[in-house]
């Protein structure tokens, strides 16, 4: 398992394992192996290695490459995530989020000064000019499975495959509670009012830095009215007659299956 740890971050060393990124792709060896020993690639001076924590007692670093080193192929992060179990998923997700933060915080957002290297004790960069601290960005997003009797609401956004239906989801606004975000997103996207909003589970989702916060809610009132440009179609589906839903590695898929099991347990 991944141990994020509280110790001072070590410098990159030969006994560590490395996750190599090229743009947003992950570099792999055969058999989708993405934890790479130091001796399998040529470290270069410009390579910025970020400490991710320990994995089964071994230090893990993530590095970004400008070109693909010899002997490697690249695979999309999303494709690779779905090939992994949940513990590997969390490691990859953390590595990708830390690398994205490093890449996107090369200069201070307040005064424009070039940022120094990472802090040795934590993932933070402090501006030498104005002392502003920059931490890895985490963007909370709500995702909600809505129940109406023995039906649940599933919707399809414009980017989703034609036959794939999922939950309502969206970013939390500044100054908003998670529950307010659930009620607002459901109203905006499908025109419904919901009640009995309760937390279920969460999952980091590194596209690029969301934290998905999963809820159940019950239908209260309104007719389904898809928001133009946001939702292509949305319907109530009987829990025994579902369309194609997201992969069970995602919180979206898990939320639907858990909610259905919960609704069935209430009916017994």
Binding site for Zn ion (CB under 5 A): 108, 110-111, 113, 127, 129-130, 132
**Min CB(127)–Zn ion separation in Å:** 3
Phi, psi (degrees; rounded to nearest 5) at 154: -130, 140
Shortest gap between Cβ of 124 and Zn ion (angstroms)? 13
Q: State how far the Cα of 248 lies from the Cα of 255, in Å rounded to an integer.
A: 9
Closer to Zn ion by Cβ: residue 111 or 257: 111
Tell me if 156 sits within 8 A of 231, measured CB to CB. Answer: yes
CB of 106 to Zn ion, least distance (A): 12
Q: How far is the CB of 172 from Zn ion (least distance, A)?
A: 27
Nearest to 32 by CA among 76, 91, 87, 62: 76
Cβ at position 111, least distance to Zn ion in Å:
3
Considering the complex, state which of residue 132 and residue 211 has its C-beta at the smaller distance from Zn ion. 132
Q: Which is nearer to Zn ion, 113 or 177 (CB)?
A: 113
Closest by Cα among 191, 184, 185, 181 to 222:
191
Largest CA distance in the chain: 64
Nearer to Zn ion, 131 or 195 (CB): 131
Asked if residues 185 and 153 have their Cβ atoms less than 8 Å apart, the reply is no
Tell me whether residue 108 or residue 172 sits nearer to Zn ion (CB atom): 108
Cis peptide before 208 (omega within 30 of 0): yes
CA torsion angle for 102, 106, 107, 110 (degrees, to 10)?
Answer: -20
């Amino acid at each position: 398992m991944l141990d994020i740890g509280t110790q001072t971050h070590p410098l990159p060393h030969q006994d560590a394992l490395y996750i190599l990124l090229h743009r947003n792709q992950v570099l792999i060896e055969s058999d989708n192996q993405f934890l790479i020993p130091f001796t399998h690639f040529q470290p270069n001076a410009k390579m910025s290695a970020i400490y991710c924590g320990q994995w089964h007692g071994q230090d893990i670093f993530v590095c970004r490459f400008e070109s693909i080193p010899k002997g490697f192929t690249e695979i999309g992060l999303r494709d690779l995530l779905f090939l992994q179990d949940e513990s590997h998923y969390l490691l990859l997700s953390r590595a990708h989020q830390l690398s994205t933060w490093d890449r996107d915080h090369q200069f201070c957002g307040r005064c424009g000064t070039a940022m120094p290297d990472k802090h040795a004790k934590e993932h933070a960069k402090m501006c030498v000019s104005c002392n502003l601290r920059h931490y890895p960005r985490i963007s909370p997003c709500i995702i909600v499975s809505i129940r109406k009797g023995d039906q649940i609401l599933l919707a399809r956004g414009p980017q989703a495959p034609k036959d794939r239906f999922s939950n309502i989801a969206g970013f939390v606004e500044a100054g908003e509670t998670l529950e307010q975000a659930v009620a607002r997103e459901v109203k905006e996207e499908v025109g419904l009012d919901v009640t009995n909003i309760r937390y279920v589970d969460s999952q980091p989702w590194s596209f690029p830095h969301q934290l998905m916060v999963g809820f159940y809610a019950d239908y209260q009132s309104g007719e389904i009215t898809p928001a133009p440009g946001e939702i292509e179609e949305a319907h109530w589906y009987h829990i025994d007659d579902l369309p194609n839903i997201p992969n069970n590695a995602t919180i979206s898929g898990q939320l639907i299956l858990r909610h259905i099991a919960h609704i069935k347990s209430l009916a017994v």
